[in-house]
Amino acid sequence: MKIVSWNCGGKFREKFQAILDVDADIYVIQECENPVESRCIAYREFAHNYLWIGENKNKGLGVFAKNGIRLTENNWNKYCLRNFLSVRIDDVFDLVAVWACKPYIEEYYIYQSINISNYTKKTVIIGDFNSNAIWDKKHDTRTHSSVVRQLNEVGLISAYHHMSGEKQGEETIPTFYLYRHTNKGYHIDHCFTGESNIKDFQILPKSDWLTKSDHIPILIEIQSE
């Protein structure tokens, strides 16, 4: 099964056709419109199997799946934390979709701490964390490195770092380019799951995506049952 995460930078109704070329089974999209409130017929037809949350109908967090994949919202506790969506996939594994907004990793750290007992080695946590270990000092104890350590303790690892052999904070391939400047790249989109779950992981070519967003899609292929 292939899962893509992409912060589309808004106006997903005009961009979803491009991401379909990746031919993933599940798309986790940050900053996308609420399909039910969109006037774009093609976008509503694309979103025939989805879950969406958001405070703004024009910029929320969506999980979109192919026909035949059952999405069930877990309704894990959020206590007013924003833009985290836990979804049961085909009653086989849990997907945690992430769009971490200010104060970024601190909000996700709290969400993870509340729900860590629900995480298993099959859980896939994926999205725009807006975070990297290089900024740990800005976040006191609720840091990127603290999140990684807690995940490691329950058997979940970063798919990128597993495949690349690189260390946290020393990534050579960015997932985000500030103002789309290629000399201002940062690695802030992440995917965590159990090691045995990881079949492949890719950051898609920036040349294909920087005209559409300041983020580059990430793709994980997980082992099928």
Segment 44-92, tens digit of pLDDT: 999 999 999 999 999 999 999 999 999 999 999 999 999 999 999 999 9
Reduced to 3 states (helix: H, G, I; strand: E, B; else coil), residue 162 is helix
Angle at 155 between CA 187 and CA 75, to 5 degrees: 80
Instruction: Give all domains of the chain, ordered by start, each with its CATH number.
Output: 2-222 (3.60.10.10)
Segment 133-180, tens digit of pLDDT: 999 999 999 999 999 999 999 999 999 999 999 999 999 999 999 999
Pair of tokens at residue 124: 């896939």
What is the structure's pLDDT at 154? 98
- Given a cut of 70, is residue 225 above it in pLDDT? no
- Given a cut of 80, is residue 202 above it in pLDDT? yes
- Given a cut of 90, is residue 224 above it in pLDDT? no
Least confident of 28-32, 65-69, 221-225: 221-225
Is 124:95 a contact under the CB 8 Å cutoff?
Answer: yes
Q: Nearest CA to 62 among 78, 47, 51, 73?
A: 51
- In eight-state DSSP terms, residue 45 is H
Segment 107-127, tens digit of pLDDT: 999 999 999 999 999 999 999
